[in-house]
Amino acid sequence: VCNENFITEAPGSAECLPCANPNTETRLQDRSKCWCKEKYYASFDTYDLSHNRTCKKCPTGGKCHLDRIYGMKDYWRPDLTTETFYTCRPGYCLDETGEQSTPCRQGHEGVLC
């Protein structure tokens, strides 16, 4: 079993590779993947669980947890794959749940709610 922040990429392999990016870490006893640290996320164009994983700093308007990026209250994005958030009028845009892009307050819809 590898030490913290080292992983084995092949089942049964004794070789332990370090999580190469300083913004990655292993989680609990899982030593098979490097995950993004809190306040970082795995970009959709660089999603890779290997020791070379790249993680980006969470953007303004986003909250990042367990490699995912979610929209915060009062921020909007066009869809769940967009990594840029836009400021909404206060109270119009609600927190994302991860199942839909930024939900709008009841009675509001469309761009920036």
Using one digit for the tens of pLDDT, what is the confidence trace for 33-48? 888 898 999 876 655 6
Using one digit for the tens of pLDDT, what is the confidence trace for 62-78? 999 878 889 999 999 88
pTM of the model: 0.75
Helix, strand or coil for residue 45? Answer: helix
Asked if residues 41 and 53 have their Cβ atoms less than 8 Å apart, the reply is: no
Q: Would you give the end-to-end CA distance of the chain in angstroms?
A: 49
